[in-house]
Structure 1
Amino acid sequence: MRTVAFHTLGCKVNFYDTEAIWQLFKKDGYEQAPFDQRADVYVINTCTVTHVGDKKSRQMIRRAIRQNPEATVVVTGCYAQIAPDEVMGIPGVDLVIGTQHREQMMDLVHKVQTERKPYNFVGNIMQQRNFEELDVPYFMDRTRASLKIQEGCNNFCTFCIIPYSRGFLRSRKPENVIRQAKRLVEAGYYEIVLTGIHTGGYGADLPDYSLAKLLADLENVEGLHRIRISSIEASEIDDEAIEVLAKSKKICRHLHIPLQAGDNQVLKKMNRRYTTEQFAEKIQKLRQALPDLAITSDVIVGFPGESDEGFEATYRFISEQNFAQLHVFPYSKRRGTPAAKFQNQVPEDVKEHRVQRLIELSEQLMNEYAASFLGKTLEVIPEEFYDEEKTLVVGHADNYVKVIFPGGKEVLGQICEVKLDRVEKELAFGQMVRQVTFAKTEEDVSLEDQPLFDQHPVQFEAI
């Protein structure tokens, strides 16, 4: 039996794309192997959001080639799209395919295997106008399923390379989103994470449709218990969206809203299209509509021209807004973006100091938010074992608090009510009150024989 191994770097969209590519190989008769073992085909799904992503992508490509020099090595994803010639220049790479036309993956693999010469199949992503349908009927774990609803981004922030690697915004047809959501529910998932490159922009290219309307339609999917939005821009949360969020019984009490900077001068140079005052006003409206809402965010430190005063303004703003968690990134100069040419680049040691300060603030905010639920009961979906003895499980509540509690294999992927009794180092601990069960239909029973777990997990590495 032919084997294929995967390694993925980067974001949730890459995670989804790799799962979809695995489905193509599976239909072609392949079995999946661990990436650190010998395989007939290696697929590396790359990231280019920072220079570290580029470096790690090259490292994983070379690792695959060393493991089996006779294997077919396929490189896809954002780094492949941005720098196909660099990737093709690595001896041993057979196919470079970028971020579009992945549905042709198997034909292209057969082509390079037959002709025995490398092939560059990267086209001009800026010319793409249609969403590429890559369906995923189930994932390697059954705790949460991702559902990709859009591709590309029209914002063109001055620091970001992603629009150049993913193209303009393209929304998935609503009927296809709903259809896949129903299939994922039938496969046993209680939570679906809506994901995309610019998720909040969904529907901008569709007639009279929006993310708010999609959320309202997903609310009616029977058996779907949780809907989580992977990320949404503050400028895209309008009154219609807030009304849908407030009325929903399924949308998680957690929104990831990128801030990037808490200083208006820096925001303007970033081309972020809002001020700190507008951001704060939107957060206030959301919290009025959704009490106990967890708001997490992205922050870039050391953007060109960010002064000490500008960073302190960011620090104060984050403290005042009481985020539940931060993802902190040092600014990374990306060739081809406007910011790469900006004057007053910030020294690396200054960036590192600022990153550390915000990480410490994030830890404090996470503990404070989790502690506000002590003595309360949260619904948690355990995702994996926390200890080697497999006596504790860990998972996320709907508000994204990470919870650890005693439990065995039978609760993984299930909905558990857990009462929190302590918080330590950004983790909440508690005791299970009960496991929520649902009556099975005949269709559910017929699905029990379908594989919800494959023999080998697709390997991922977030950067």
Structure 2
Amino acid sequence: MENHTLHSEKKVSFITLGCKVNQYDSDAMRTLFVKNGYRQAGEDENADVYVVNTCSVTSIGDRKSRQMVRRIRRSHPEAIIAVAGCYAQLAPEVFEKMGDVDVIVGVHNRSHIVEYVEEAKKRTDRKPLNETVDIMKVKTFENMSVDVSGEVKTRAFVKVQEGCDNYCTFCIIPYARGKLKSRLQKDAVEEIRKLVSQGYREVVLTGIHLGNYGKDLHDGTSLATLVAELVKIPDLLRIRLGSVESVELSDELISIIKNEPKVCRHLHLPIQSGSDAVLKGMNRHYRLSQFKALIAVLREKVPGIALTTDLIVGFPGETEENFLETLDTLKELKFSGIHVFPYSRRTGTPAATYPNQVSSEVKKERVHRVQELEKEIACAYRSQFMGKVVHVLAEEIKNGYFEGLTGEYIRVSIKDSHIERGHMYPVRIDTVTADGLAGTVAEEEL
């Protein structure tokens, strides 16, 4: 009887491409499968169902998504393959024509994915079940939650917002994710309380357009009201914000970051370009003078705040002069970290039709120049912590030592053996590494 049970056990495997929002969506779908009698397949196990959570932020994301589906089908000809995420939403016909996919759900109706998979199993013709909807007509947040009981981690990503109303000319995501949709504050708080009860000590709030959280609810909810509520959860040691647009930083939120020790003094503010001419072409809702003024205010009100950013190089029409202006802007603002991307031409966006597209060679070279500058600036930023005590939340063991993050989002290796996961430690920094810091536990008590 036991052998029969083992043989009939249903297993699911997830492959997630792209952003932290996608990762959360995968975790929420995995929770649904587990509740319906599935088990997460181990690395070396064959699964009955494979879910590929696709990405479409760049053409590389599209390609990787297709390659992953083909690879799974070759290795597992009998398995059910479901695709979700942005690329599945934008181009379901691509997956229909491939002949390798059984279920297509896009970015909505993911709460029904188990039902769709079970229905696909009954089909004899293997014709794909396409359950994508017109995302522009969806006006409410699809509330899904993550159950992590049995896992041992310390930092949880929680999605509180979906969709975007900005329509930057380079970005395909508003067409994939639809309009702004916020999660009810009580639902977000309830899930985070549950995660904390299961051992999580840091929560990272994520969304497609996080800074506008709550605007569509028309009940006074905002990112500031949500964070103020989360601060009250006793065993939650840290609250970190995902990417926020600079123009959406309210005085209330800045005040909370300044005054609440639990809220990380770290903001990720995408600048995208350091040239006003390029920002205008991108349809970004600010100009350099505004962005620089905000940075100055933040650094004055919240001393020591860490600021990281996203940057796109090679946007159509970006001249060498524009790019040099961007480099000067980066040198002036001294971000502690820069994620730089070459512009990716996305069919369906205005910028894809712009003249003066920049060659891939030039884009590659500009990415390299920014990366070299970033190394220099980031290393200088980290060097200021030499000899100082920082607070590190121990997360995982690497190379024999526990590692974790500071509130400023710097990875620190703790050179002590008596460290416990999920605990916060004062660490005196004695080494600046290639991508972080290292030190030993200080006597200072938290």
Same-fold call, TM > 0.5?
Answer: yes
Residue 217 of structure 2 is aligned to residue 206 of structure 1: yes
| 1:179-218 to 2 correspondences below 5 Å | 179-207=190-218, 208-218=220-230
Contact 1:14 1:45 in 2 (8 A): yes
Corresponding position of 1:358: 370
Describe the shift of the 1:409–1:179 C-alpha distance in structure 2 as closer, same or farther (beyond 3 A).
farther
**Relative contact order (alpha carbons < 8 A, sep ≥ 6): 1 or 2 greater?**
1
Deviation at 1:406, TM superposition (A): 2.6
Q: Secondary structure at the match of 2:437?
A: strand
1:87 maps to a residue whose letter is: F
SS for the counterpart of 2:311 is: strand
Once the two structures are TM-superposed, the CA of residue 270 in structure 1 deviates from its matched residue by 0.5
1:421 shift after superposition: 0.3
SS at match of 2:309: strand
Paired residue secondary structure (2:122): helix
- Structure 1 residues 291, 73: closer, same or farther in 2, change over 3 A? same
Task: Tell me the distance in 1 between the aligned counterparts of 2:326 and 2:42.
Answer: 43
Q: Name the residue aligned to 1:222.
A: 234
- Contact 1:152–1:167, Cα closer than 8 Å, also in 2: yes
- 8 Å contact kept, 2:389–2:429: yes
Residues 248-279 of structure 1 deviation map (CA, whole Å, 9 limit, x = unaligned): 22110110000000000100110111000100
* Structure-1 residue corresponding to 2:21: 13
Residue in structure 2 matched with residue 79 of structure 1 by the alignment: 87
1:122 aligns with 132
Whole-angstrom CA distance in 2 between matches of 1:202 and 1:292: 26
Assess if the C-alpha contact under 8 Å between 2:309 and 2:338 holds in 1. yes
Residue 448 of structure 1 aligns with which residue? none
2:31 corresponds to:
23
Report the 3-state secondary structure (helix = DSSP H, G, I; strand = E; otherwise coil) of the residue aligned with 1:296. strand
**Residue 326 in 1 paired to residue 335 in 2?**
no
SS at match of 2:405: strand
* Structure 2 residue runs without a partner (length 5+): 1-8
CA distance in 1 between partners of 2:269 and 2:252 (Å): 17
TM-score (norm 2): 0.94
Are 2:247 and 1:239 equivalent residues in the alignment?
no
Residue 257 (structure 1) aligned with residue 265 (structure 2): no
Q: Which moved more, 1:157-166 or 1:87-96?
A: 87-96
Superposed CA deviations along residues 89-112 of structure 1, whole A, max 9, x for unmatched, are 222210011000111111111111
Q: Secondary structure at the match of 1:327?
A: strand
Deviation of 1:62 (Å): 1.1
Asked whether the equivalents of residues 98 and 122 of structure 1 are also in contact (C-alpha less than 8 Å), the reply is yes
Alignment match, 2:300: 288
Matches for 1:9-408 after TM superposition, within 5 Å: 9-34=17-42, 37-116=45-124, 117=126, 118-138=128-148, 140-207=151-218, 208-387=220-399, 391-407=400-416
Contact 2:415 2:438 in 1 (8 A): no
In the TM superposition, what is the alpha-carbon distance from 1:381 to its structure 2 partner? 1.8
The equivalent residue for 2:5 is none
1:61-115 alpha-carbon deviations (Å, 9 max, x no partner)? 1111122100000111111001101012222210011000111111111111112
- Report Cα offsets for 1:5-37 as digits up to 9, x if no partner: 111000000010000011011011111114664
Question: Shift of residue 416 of structure 1?
Answer: 2.0
Q: Is the 8 A contact 2:59 2:344 kept in 1?
A: yes
Structure 1 regions of 5+ residues with no counterpart? 438-463
Q: Note if contact 1:411-1:435 (Cα within 8 Å) is conserved in structure 2.
A: no
Per the alignment, in what secondary structure is the counterpart of residue 328 of structure 1? strand
Instruction: Give 1:213 shift.
Output: 1.6
- Three-state SS of the structure 2 residue aligned to 1:314 is helix
Report the RMSD for the aligned CA atoms in angstroms: 1.6
- The answer (yes or no) to whether the contact 2:141–2:161 under 8 Å persists in 1 is yes
Q: Which amino acid aligns with 1:334?
A: R
What is the alpha-carbon distance in structure 2 between the residues aligned to residue 320 and residue 426 of structure 1?
21
8 Å CA contact retained: 1:418, 1:433: yes
Q: Secondary structure at the match of 1:89?
A: helix
Q: Secondary structure at the match of 1:252?
A: coil
Partner of 1:453: none
TM-score where L is the length of structure 1? 0.91
Quote the Cα distance in structure 2 between the aligned partners of 1:171 and 1:407. 42
Letter in 1 for 2:407: D
Do the aligned partners of 1:416 and 1:435 also contact (CA within 8 Å) in 2?
no
Q: Tell which deviates more after alignment, 298-307 or 369-378.
A: 369-378
